[in-house]
Amino acid sequence: MRNHTIGSLIWLRLMRFTNQSNQLSNDFLKRFDLTTAQFDVLVQIQLYQPLTQSELAKKVTVTQGGISRMLARLEKEGYILRKQSWKTKTISLTKKAEEVLAEAMPAQLAFQTSFFEDVLTKEEEKTLYQLMTRVHKYSQKRKLPPGTAKHYLMIEQQLKPILAYMKAQIVQTYVFIEEKDFHRKKIINDDVLFRIERLVEDTVDLTKTYTKIREENEAAYDF
């Protein structure tokens, strides 16, 4: 603990609280057959519908790839409708989703509010909100310091040249997973899961292609 600053301890507390809160919210929302990410997406659609997928991606913490995967699942489960209008496809909620949110929204808000109302006074809640708002606004304009490590570049700059020299079959895409993408040893980032699936598909396709080429070459030389 002696190497920690007050700022780093606050950050660690916030991270642990966020992880614990999200896990509890996931468990709480199971009664409505929703995850916290799905709940957030449905709420944003309800507020701004009809909207496009790119507009939605800017309002939630899920990336474009993760949004595509999640929307496909929500559409399959009957929560959203996608409507094509000329070159634009918009998203809106179904009656089923509106009914679920009408029940889930007040319950989820009360549950999240209890994390603070149960342990803080009204004045403490107000102070905490003001402080967190100030920190959040600063983080939005904060830039990375010079020399920040980009570990994913190791694959591009170090491993790929070596593998290419060894005549390895290299899949052009790869998936870089950070610690924040895990919770209790499970990947919780929908975008990461989506990219892993794509990587598996690309790897299988590449393997099949090289296998076919090798078999054709062997057949040509009558091996």
Q: Among 97, 115, 141, identify where a domain stops.
A: 141
Helix (H, G, I), strand (E, B) or coil at 155: helix
Rounded CA separation 139/17 (Å): 18
> 148 lies in a domain?
no
Kindly state whether residues 110 and 27 are assigned to the same domain. Answer: yes
- pLDDT tens, residue by residue, 73-114: 899 999 999 888 777 888 999 999 999 999 999 999 999 999
Same-domain check for residues 22 and 90: yes
> Which residue, of 81, 108, 141, is where some domain finishes?
141
Range of the domain at 197: 153-220
Span 69-78, pLDDT tens digits: 888 889 999 9
What phi, psi does 159 have (nearest 5°)? -75, -45
Overall pTM > 0.85: no
* Residue 62 burial by Cβ neighbours in a 10 Å radius (0-12, 13-18, 19+): buried
Does residue 198 belong to any structural domain of this protein? yes
Number of compact structural domains in the chain: 2
Q: What's the pLDDT tens digit per position in 117-149?
A: 999 999 999 999 999 999 989 988 887 665 454
Statement to judge: residues 122 and 164 lie in one domain? no
